[in-house]
Amino acid sequence: MWAMVSNTEKAIYVANPAIGSLHNYGVAVDVSLLNEKGEELDMGTPVDYFGELAEPRYEKRFLAEGKLTREQVSHRLLLREVMREAGFQDIATEWWHFQLCGREEAKKKYEILP
């Protein structure tokens, strides 16, 4: 996957295997929310959607442009709220990604997993 995107604007969505991602250190998770029936809440894009519509940093703009609904944005805000309360940090580029720490701290504390 890295070979396909490494020289494109999509490279921000894929980890360089030579470096690894925070997932390889076991300090990151990709998650969404389900309702009481076990159905995924509508977040505006699927998990691992490679495009700006998935990026929290642009949510206000996409809401104003009608590309995201208030309900979709409120689902994302709820997910961020519960994950922050659990001690995770969110990132600006993927609504589903949460991590316990940054790369430097992860490198000091944990072994990388292949």
Work out which of 9, 30, 48, 71 binds Zn ion, going by CB under 5 A.
30
Nearer of residues 30 and 71 to Zn ion, judged by Cβ: 30
Is 48 one of the binding residues for Zn ion (CB under 5 A)?
A: no
Joined together, the tokens standing for residue 80 give 């961020």
Nearer of residues 54 and 68 to Zn ion, judged by Cβ: 54
Is 81 one of the binding residues for Zn ion (CB under 5 A)?
A: no
Instruction: Give the distance between the most distant pair of CA atoms in the chain.
Output: 44
Q: Which of 9, 52, 94, 111 is catalytic?
A: 94
Is 97 one of the binding residues for Zn ion (CB under 5 A)?
A: yes
